[in-house]
A = this chain, B = another copy of it.
Amino acid sequence: MSQKNKLQYIILGLLARQDLTGYDIKKLFEGEVGDFWRSNHSQVYPELRKMAGKGLITAYTATVGTKMEKTYYKIAPPGKDLLTAWMHEPLGDLVPSRDDFTMKLYLIDDPRDPLIAQLFAEEIARHTVKLAYLEQRWQELFASSEKQQQHYGHALILTLARNREHDYLTWLKAHQPKEK
């Protein structure tokens, strides 16, 4: 076994809510799911066929306009079982992030290196953007409280991500070297 196929689990999770086409899933990965998971259609379409081949999901087609066919996928009982099993499986090990900022900083030995200030500035900039984005997403999705109850987990992870960004930025700003 090499890496484990997590893509199939998230696809199963999405299909557990409603039937979707490959294109729908691609759009989700570009949109709301994309905040914490990304995948390209070149991976999604083959994966869906593979899963259908295993009997985890079933396919059916709908015609749009005069000749365009789109393929919907529906979760099947074995798929539901697999999803449930995965959801209850213990969380895997935490893996190192391979983050640019961390890697570069690690390689700087001299506290007076001007690169440190530059790296902090860049890191603060990109996380500030991320924080603003997350807050805007929250507004868009959960401004009304019904929605917050309908997709509880989604609301929770957005809050979580927002909070992490906020705390991290606070730390970064507190430890940012002064420009001279």
A residues bordering B, Cβ < 8 Å? 6, 9-10, 13-14, 16-17, 33-38, 87-88, 90-111, 113, 115-116, 118-119, 122-123, 126-127, 130, 149-154, 156-157, 159-161, 163-164, 167-168, 171, 175
Residue numbers in B under 8 Å from A95 (CB-CB): 38
Please determine whether B152 and A110 come into contact, CB atoms closer than 8 angstroms. yes
Residue numbers in B under 8 Å from A17 (CB-CB): 109
Given A36-B99, A100-B91, A107 and B156 contact (CB-CB distance below 8 Å): no
Please determine whether B175 and A106 come into contact, CB atoms closer than 8 angstroms. no
Please determine whether A168 and B175 come into contact, CB atoms closer than 8 angstroms. no
Please determine whether B154 and A106 come into contact, CB atoms closer than 8 angstroms. yes
Residue numbers in B under 8 Å from A152 (CB-CB): 108-111, 113, 116
Measured CB to CB, the closest approach of chain B to A52, in angstroms, equals: 20
Specify the chain B residue showing the minimal Cβ separation from A38. Answer: B96
Question: Do most interface residues of chain A lie in helix, strand or loop, or is the interface mixed?
Answer: helix
**5 sample A-B contacts, Cβ–Cβ < 8 Å, listed by A number:** A6-B103, A13-B107, A97-B97, A107-B153, A108-B152
Measured CB to CB, the closest approach of chain B to A94, in angstroms, equals: 6
Number of copies: 2
20 A-B pairs besides A37-B103, A102-B161, A105-B157 with CB distance below 8 A are A13-B103, A13-B107, A16-B107, A36-B98, A37-B96, A87-B115, A91-B101, A91-B122, A91-B126, A102-B157, A102-B160, A104-B153, A108-B153, A109-B154, A113-B152, A116-B152, A160-B171, A163-B171, A167-B167, A167-B168
Measured CB to CB, the closest approach of chain B to A42, in angstroms, equals: 12
Please determine whether B164 and A171 come into contact, CB atoms closer than 8 angstroms. yes
Measured CB to CB, the closest approach of chain B to A176, in angstroms, equals: 11
Please determine whether B10 and A103 come into contact, CB atoms closer than 8 angstroms. yes
